[in-house]
């Protein structure tokens, strides 16, 4: 046993590291896709708050 106790969720997905970068339809790739989608969503919200709203211009919500 190492100096740090192991977390039960560390290898909860198919017996390998859940933060490993794997391609295809694996639980690891789904985690990374979700993380990247959250980063993209926050980036768009910051872009929108800065005044460069593409969606508002497209839908003409604010005149």
DSSP states of 1-63: --SSPPPTTTTTBTTB-TTS---SS-HHHHHHHHHHHHHHHHHHHHHHHHT--HHHHHHT---
Average pLDDT, integer, range 3-26: 66
pLDDT digits (tens, 9 = 90+) for 19-35: 777 777 777 888 889 99
Which among 56, 51, 9, 55 is positioned nearest to 28, based on CA atoms?
A: 9
Question: Would you list the domain boundaries of the chain?
Answer: 27-59
Q: What is the pTM of this model?
A: 0.57
Q: What is the mean pLDDT of residues 47-52?
A: 81
pLDDT for residue 14? 59
φ, ψ of residue 25 to 5 degrees: the values are -90, 75
Q: What is the pLDDT of residue 50?
A: 83
């Amino acid at each position: 046993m190492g100096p740090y106790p192991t977390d039960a969720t560390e290898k909860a997905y198919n017996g390998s590291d859940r933060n490993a970068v794997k391609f295809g339809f694996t639980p690891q790739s789904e985690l990374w896709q979700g993380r990247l989608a959250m980063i993209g969503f926050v980036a768009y919200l910051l872009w929108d708050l800065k005044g460069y709203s593409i969606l508002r211009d497209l839908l003409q919500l604010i005149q």
